[in-house]
Every structure is written in structure tokens, then in C-alpha cells.
Structure 1
Amino acid sequence: MALETSPEQPTPVRTVLQLVGGWIAKLGRIWVEGQITELNRRGGTVYFTLRDPVANVSVRVTCPRAVCDNAGPAVIDGARVVVHAKPDFYINRGSFALSAFEIRPVGVGELLARLERLKQLLAAEGVFNAERKRPLPFLPGTIGLICGRDSAAERDVLENSRRRWPAVRFTVENTAVQGSYAVGEIIDALHRLDAAPDVEVIIIARGGGSLEDLLPFSDEALVRAVAAARTPVVSAIGHEQDTPLLDYVADVRASTPTDAAKKTVPDVREQLALIGQLRDRGRRCLSGRVEREIQWLTGMRSRPALADPAREIERQAEGVATLRDRSRRCLAAALDRAGDGLSHTRARLVALSPAATLERGYAIAQRPDESVVRAAADVRKDDELLVRFKDGRITVRVDAV
């Protein structure tokens, strides 16, 4: 129950500390997991700090020396352990600590089993899906690098990148890459680089190490932070055989820091050689096209119509002259034939004409209507007839038939 206090009726310190100690004592014995730091053996008692592997929090632990010795030589600084302890609150000093009764080192098999369960959980959520991975830019303007201070991984990435492309720029964030502070520092550095507008790629690099050394790069918080980053992330942790969970969530996985530099930065010599090859291909294609067009133009110019245009005109003129002569001959022949036919017709007409008969001394008797009298029986007495001669005609009356 809450204490009822006031400025007039304050609660003594001893009462508050006694109540706090009572509340803490109600927790009983519990199992706690963490990482050992600041291990110190003094007499028959062992003192160390148990740090959380993710958050930047810790608690002091005390235990008899025999408990620490029973755990074996694995109880050293940096070791992951599970401690069976009872929370204690020391009223005289107002401090909190755990009193350990048993210490168990976390074995490699158990760590691998935990990592496998976490891997399956994240895979089921789609964190490792290939669809969400982004391609790296061809030539990033600025590359963010997260690595240990003055580490071999930092030198490998910087030297190989500048050897491949001397103008490349880096923004380096030095953090802890193992231990209890590593996860928090790496996540903070990732957030800063991801928020920087000029950083186009982020490389997280670390050299080789044991499974325990690389555990921060399999931490769930770090994996989710990389998955949520807007900037493409390259994972370059350890050697080829090392596969922390960061490799599965990163957009590109590099086997080593040197390989990360090769995958992130193009080689200027290779690009210049590629440009030379493409330029040569373009020159060959253009030269071939020009040569084909020249050959086509030469072939067109070699044709008679283009080689001697006047000769074609002359040939056509000769054809026109030939046709004209033929037409003239045809027309003259037709006129000659028509003239001959006309002469023949005229001769026949003259031969058959009554005028020709009159020329020979004959006369033609006609009635007033100019019909020809063909027989004497056709004439009656007193009929008037016209007698036509070659040079005129006369009117006569019939006196007798």
C-alpha cells in the first residue's frame, strides 16, 4: 500500500528502504540471462556485472567462489551465462544486487538453437523475403560505413574502395562490434546514416570472430532496424562461413569487408575498359553502316540511268523519232491508198454517170417532175416533156404516140 506522507509527517529513509527491500524480496529466486563483465574475485566471493545483451542496462551479482568454480573455466569476461539468483536490496547502502546460487554458461549448441528459432520467426514474418531487397546504386555518391574503430574491416573497405574508385566518399561511424554495447551503438549509427540525405549505401562490416563475438549481428532489434532502413544495406560480417542473421535481412550479403567494397564500388579500370569496348563496338557498327551505304550508292551510280543520263535521253529521242517516222510512213501510205481508192471511185462514177452518156450524143426525156421516161408507152398525147442534152434542155409537147 502507498504510504501516506506529508511535509509535516515525512517517512524516514530506513522505512522507505525497508519497504523497498520487502517488495524486492517477494520476487524470490529467478533465472537471469546476460553477459559477464567486470569479473573480480576477492577472497571467497566473486563479484561481476551482468549486462543485458541488447539494452544498455546491467546489474551487480555476487556469489560464493565455489559457485563460480563449479561453473567451470567458461565464466570469464564477455561470457554469456544463465544465473539462478535471488534479488537482494541492501538497506544500509541503498543498493540492489543479485545473489547467485548457480551459474550455467550458455553453450554454442543452445545459442545456435536460439538463433535458429529467431531465424524461423523472422522468416515467417517476411523479413528475409527477396522482394523487399533493393538493388545497389551503380556509383553511390556517399557510402556509410559502420565498423569498429581502427579495425582491419575499416581499412579493407576504405582501401579497396578507393583503389577501385579514388573519388568515392565515406561517412564512417565507429561503434563497438562485440559486447553488450554493440547492438545499441550499431542501431544508433544505422539510424544516423539512414537519415543522412547524401548517404546512398550503408555497409556494416566486421572481421572474423567466434560465434559469441558475432552474436550482436544476429540480434533481433538490429535485424528489424536493418529491415526498416530506407537506404540499401550491405552486410560484411566475418568470413565466408560466418552467416549471422544480418546477412539474411541485408539487401546485399558480402563474404568479407573486401568483398563488400567490390560489390559496392565499381572498378574504374573495368569501367574504362568497358567504355573502350562499347566505343569500339559503336565505331565498328557506324563504319559498317557507312560502308554499306557507300556500296549501295556506288551501285546506284553505276546503273546506266545515273552513269550517263544523256544517253538515256538520246535513246528515248531515237525511239520518238522512229515512232514519228513510222507514223509518217503509215499516214502517207494510208493517204496514198485513200487517193487511189478515190480515183477508182471517181472513174467508176464518171463511167456510170448520165452526163457521160449525154456527152456521147444521147438525150434524156423527163417529165416536169424530172422523172425519167423509160418507155414510149409511159407517154400520153399532149404530155409535156423535158428533153435534156449535154449543154441544156428543151420543153416539148407530145403530138402523137
Structure 2
Amino acid sequence: MSAKTSPEQPLPVRTVLQMVAGWIGKLGTVWVEGQITELTARGGTVFVTLRDPVANVSARVTCPRGVYEASVPRPVDGARVVVHAKPDFWVNRGSFAFTALEIRPVGVGELLARLERLRRLLASEGLFNADRKRRLPFLPGAIGLICGRDSAAERDVLENARRRWPAVRFKVEQVAVQGPYAVGEVTEALRKLDADRDIDVIIVARGGGSLEDLLPFSDESLVRTVAACRTPVVSAIGHEQDSPILDLVADLRASTPTDAAKKVVPDVGEQLVLIRQLRDRGRRVVGGWVERERAWLASMRSRPSLADPVREIERRAEQTDQLRDRARRCLSGSLDRAGDDLQHIRARLIALSPAATLERGYAIAQRPDGEVIRHAADVAPGDPLTLRFTDGRLPVRAEADPEPSS
């Protein structure tokens, strides 16, 4: 119950602290999970600082030495543990602490199970999909590097990158890469580099380590921060066999920090060789095309119509003369044959003509209208007639035929 107080009737400090201790005492025993950041043994008591695995929150834990030694294996700095504790408030010092009743180290199997559940959750949200991963720039102007302080991973990345491309620029953020402060510092460095418009790609690098050492890089808040970055992120955590969740959500995974430098920065020697090869290939292609066009042009020029245009005209003139002579010969032959045929027809007409008969001493009797008289019975006495001879005509008149002599 809340106490009634006023400026005129305040409560002494001991009373308020006793009330706080009473409230806290009503909580009873609880199971608490965290990471040990400090461990000190004095006499029969072990003093531990237990830090929240995600948030920047910690609490003091006092543990009887017997409880501490009963835990197998014994917890050490950096270990993840589950503590069965009773919350206490020390009135005399005004401080809060847990009194440990039992300590259980969090086993690797349990950690793996938790990571697998988180991995399935993030996969269902599509954070691992290949279509959301961005391509790295061919030659980044500036590279953001998140690594441990004075770490071998930093040296590997910087030395290999500058060996490949001496002009490459880095902005290095040195942070804690393991322990209780790693998640917060790496997340803050990511946000800082992502906000810098000069940074084209970010590398998160760390050397190898145990599963517990690499746990910060499987933290959900850190992974979601990487997924929200606008700048492409390269994960270079541990060695080839290490696979934190950060590798799955990053835009590119490098097996080692050295491999990250090779994948992010092109090799100037290789690029010069490639440029030389492409230049030679371009020259061969252009040279081949020019040679083909030159051969085609030579072929066109070698054709008779272009090589000697006058000769073509002369050849056409010769063809015209030949055709003209041939036409003349054909026409002359046709005329000769027609003349021969005409002579034959003329001879036949002459042979069949009455004029030829008249020339042999015959005459043709005709009436004045030109009708030929073929029979004597057709003529009556006194009918005018015309006798046609070879050299002219003679008009006559018919008389009665004398009677035939007996």
C-alpha cells in the first residue's frame, strides 16, 4: 500500500527503503538469463555482474561459493547462464541485487535451438531472399569497415584491399566484436556508416571464434538493422565453417576478412589485363571487319562493269551489231524464201491462166456483160458476142449454124 506523505509529514529514508525491500521481496524467486561480464570471488561469496543478452542493462548477483562451484562447468566471464535467484534490496546500502540459488550454463545445444528458431522466423519474413540482396558497386569510392580494435581482421581487409587497388579509401569504425557490448556498438556503427552518403559498401569483419564469441552477429536486433540498411553490407565473420545469421541477411557473404577485401575491391592488375585483352579483341574485330570490307570492295572493283566500263559498252555494242546482222540475215532469208514462193505461185498461175490457153490459138466467147459462154446451145442467133484473143477483143454476132452435110 502506498504511504500517505506530505511536505509536512515526510517519511525517513529507512522507512522508504524498507517499503521498497518489502515490495521486491514479494516477487519471490525467478529464473533469469544473461551473460556474465564480471566475476569476482571474495571469501565464501562470488560476485557476478549479469548483463541482458540484448539491451544495455545489467544487475548484480551474489552467489554463495558452494552454489557457484556446484555448477558444471563453472561459469566464466562472457558465459551465457540461467540463474535461479531471489531478488533482494539491501536497505543499509540502498542497492538491489539477486541472490543466486542455482546457476545453469546455457549449453551449445540450447543456443543452437534458439538460433534455429530465429533463423526460421527471419526466413519466413523474407529477409534471406536473394531478390532483396543488392549488387556491390564495381569500384566503391569509400568503404565502411566495422571491426575489432587493432584486430587482425582489420589488417587483413586493409592490406589486401590496398594491395589490389592502392587508391581505395576506408572509413574504419572500431567496436567490440564480442561480449555484452558488441551488439550495441556494431549496430551504432552500422547506422552511422549507412547515414554517410560517401560510403558505397559496408564490411562487417571479425576473426574466427567459438559459437558464444560469434553470438552477437546472430542477434535479432543487429540482423534487422543490417536488413534495413540502404548501403550494401558484406558479412566477413569468422572462417569458412562459421555461419552466423548475419551471413544470411547480408547482401554478400565472405568466408574470411581477406575474402571480403577480394570481393569488394577489384584487382588493378587483373583489370589492366582484362582491358588489354578487350582492347586486343576489339582491334581484332575491327581489323577483321575492315579486311572483309576491303575484300568486298576489291571484289566489286574487279568486276568488269567497274574495272573497264568502256569495255562493257563495247561488248554491248558488239552484241547490238551481231543482233542487227542476225536480224538482217533473218529478214533477207525470209524475203528470199517469200520471193521463191511468189515465183512458184506465179508460174502456177501462168500455167493455169486462160491467157496461156489463148496464146496457143484459142479464143474465149463472152457476152457483152463479160459472161463466158461455155456451150453453143447457150447462144441464140443474132446475140452480140465478144471474142477474146491473146492480143485483143473482137465483137461478133451469132448466126444460125448451117445444117451439117450429109
TM-score interval, normalised by the smaller of the two chains: 0.7 to 0.9
5 Å matches for 1:111-122?
111-122=108-119
Greater alpha carbon shift after TM alignment, 21-30 vs 199-208:
199-208
Counterpart CA distance in 2 for 1:61 and 1:41 is: 12
Judge conservation of contact 1:119–1:245 (CA < 8 Å) in 2. no
CA distance 1:42–1:351, shift in 2 (3 Å): closer
Normalised by the size of structure 2, how large is the TM-score? 0.83
Query: What is the distance in 1 between the residues matched to 2:377 and 2:49?
Result: 177
Q: 1:392 to 1:242 in 2, by over 3 A?
A: closer
Distance 1:260-1:92 versus aligned 2 partners, 3 A rule:
same
- Residues 358 and 229 of structure 1: CA distance in aligned 2, closer, same or farther (over 3 Å): same
Amino acid at match of 1:78: G
Does the C-alpha gap of structure 1 residues 224 and 116 become closer, same or farther in structure 2, counting only changes over 3 Å?
farther
Q: Is 1:36 aligned with 2:8?
A: no
User: Displacement, 1:86?
Assistant: 1.7
Aligned position for 2:245: 245
How far off is 1:129 after superposition?
Answer: 4.8
Q: Alpha carbons of 1:31 and 1:354: their partners in 2 closer, same or farther (altered >3 Å)?
A: closer
Specify the code of the residue in structure 2 equivalent to 1:253: R
Give the 3-state SS of the residue equivalent to 1:202 in structure 2. Answer: strand
CA contact (8 A) 1:118 1:220 kept: no
Figure out how many residues of one structure are paired with residues of the other and give that number.
Answer: 398
Determine whether 1:193 maps to 2:193: yes
Q: Does 1:280 align with 2:280?
A: yes
Matches within 5 A, 1:224-243: 224-243=224-243
Preserved contact between residue 386 and residue 395 of structure 1 (Cα < 8 Å):
yes
Deviation at 1:182, TM superposition (A): 0.9
Q: Which runs of 5+ in 1 are unaligned?
A: none
| Cα displacement (A) at 1:183 | 0.6
Q: Partners in 1 of 2:159 and 2:12 — Cα distance?
A: 64
Amino acid across the alignment from 1:113: E
Say whether the 8 Å CA contact 1:46–1:64 is kept in structure 2.
Answer: yes
Tell me the residue number matched to 2:333.
Answer: 333
**For residue 339 of structure 2, what is the amino acid of its counterpart?**
G
1:367 maps to 2:367: yes
**Shift of residue 34 of structure 1?**
2.4
In the TM superposition, structure 1's runs of 4+ consecutive aligned residues that sit over 6 Å from their partners are none
Matched with 2:49 is: 49
- Counterpart position of 2:404: none
Kindly tell me: are residues 289 and 269 of structure 1, through their superposed partners in 2, closer, same or farther at Cα, counting changes over 3 Å? same
**Change over 3 Å in CA distance of 1:24–1:345 after alignment to 2:** same
TM-score by length of 1: 0.84
Distance between the aligned counterparts of 1:183 and 1:90, measured in 2?
32
Task: Give the CA deviation at 1:179.
Answer: 1.6
Partner of 1:386: 386
Deviations 1:366-399 (A, max 9, x none): 2122112234332212222234456654544434
Asked whether the equivalents of residues 68 and 74 of structure 2 are also in contact (C-alpha less than 8 Å), the reply is: no
Q: Report the Cα offset of residue 253 of structure 1.
A: 2.1
Give the aligned residue type for 1:252: L
Q: Is the 8 A contact 2:32 2:84 kept in 1?
A: yes
Compared CA separation, residues 63 and 347, structure 1 to 2 (3 A): closer
**Cα deviation, residue 281, structure 1:** 1.9
Q: Counterpart of 2:200 in 1: which secondary structure? A: strand
Give the CA deviation at 1:259.
1.2
How far 1:41 sits from its partner (Å)? Answer: 4.1
| 1:206/1:89 CA distance change after superposition, 3 Å | same
Deviations 1:250-284 (A, max 9, x none): 33222221111111111111111112112222222
Q: 1:128 to 1:356 in 2, by over 3 A?
A: closer
Distance 1:351 1:72 in 2: 155
Q: Percent identity?
A: 72
**Conserved? CA contact 1:208–1:238, under 8 Å:** yes
How far does the alpha carbon of each residue in 1:29-68 deviate from its partner, in whole angstroms, 9 at most, with x for none? Answer: 2232323334444455443422222211111223345544
Alignment of 1:249-398 (within 5 A): 249-299=249-299, 301-302=301-302, 307-350=307-350, 352-355=352-355, 363-388=363-388, 393=393, 395-398=395-398
Q: For 1:124 and 1:40, how far apart are their aligned partners in 2?
A: 38
Instruction: Tell me how far apart the structure 2 counterparts of residues 306 and 20 of structure 1 sit (CA, whole Å).
Output: 114
Which AA in structure 2 matches 1:187?
T
| Cα distance between partner residues in 1 of 2:253 and 2:156 | 16
State the secondary structure of the residue aligned to 1:222: helix
* Distance 1:116-1:247 versus aligned 2 partners, 3 A rule: farther
1:123 is matched with which residue? 120
Unaligned runs of 5+ in 2: 402-406
In the superposition, relative to structure 1, how do residues 39 and 352 fare at CA in structure 2: closer, same or farther (>3 Å)?
A: closer
- Do the aligned residues in 1 keep the contact of 2:233 with 2:251 (CA within 8 Å)? yes
Aligned-partner Cα distance in 1 for 2:362–2:69? 181
Deviating more after overlay: 259-268 vs 278-287: 278-287
